[in-house]
Amino acid sequence: MSGKLDEMYRDIIMEHYRFPRGTKNIRNPDLVSEGQNPACGDEIEIKVKMNHDKVQNVLVHCAGCAISVASGSMLAEIVEGKSLDEIKKIAGIVRALLKGEEISEDIDLGDLEALKGVRKFPVRIKCALLSWTTLVDAIEAREHGQITKTSTTE
């Protein structure tokens, strides 16, 4: 990546870190999940309110490093209005993006593109994936009749 592109991506990540999206509390959520990244100390709580089969609102409360908070903020921005299947697909694309794998889908990732730079720092990939892993675990728990789920990146 060029220096200017690195700087732009860094600016996007810091914007989401300083002003995270999805911070408004949700009453009576349909999904609740907590996640931890013991290696870095990141902790996250995600609450989702559904409207039929689409995400109506999402709360992402993350305490951790800039990458973890920014990724959670980006998640909050992109998942509203999406179905749970669409979210799982996007999570898979984010995982592939972070691991440098080929992405077969043609999807506008918006600010999530900024996470590309994280792959230069393999120990930080778990930080960026924490919110996505936590949400996907919650979706899968719901598919098995559970409302809450606790996840870890270990």
* 49-82 pLDDT, tens digit each: 999 999 999 999 999 999 999 999 999 999 999 9
pTM over 0.75: yes
Pair of tokens at residue 94? 């984010």
pLDDT at 2: 61
Query: Domain residues for 27?
Result: 3-152
Of the candidates 117, 83, 131, which has an alpha carbon nearest to the alpha carbon of residue 4?
Answer: 117
Of 78 and 154, more confident:
78
pLDDT at 146: 74
Across residues 108-127, what is the average pLDDT?
Answer: 89
Beta strands in 1-95 (DSSP E): 31-37, 42-51, 54-63
145 Cβ neighbours under 8 A, 6+ residues apart: none
- Tell me if 76 sits within 8 A of 22, measured CB to CB: yes
Of the candidates 69, 89, 109, 52, which has an alpha carbon nearest to the alpha carbon of residue 60?
Answer: 69
Across residues 37-49, what is the average pLDDT?
Answer: 93
Of 141 and 75, more confident:
75
Give the other-Cβ count within 10 Å of 134's Cβ: 28
CATH code of 40's domain: 3.90.1010.10
How many independent structural domains does the chain possess?
1
pLDDT at 4: 65
Residue type, 29: P
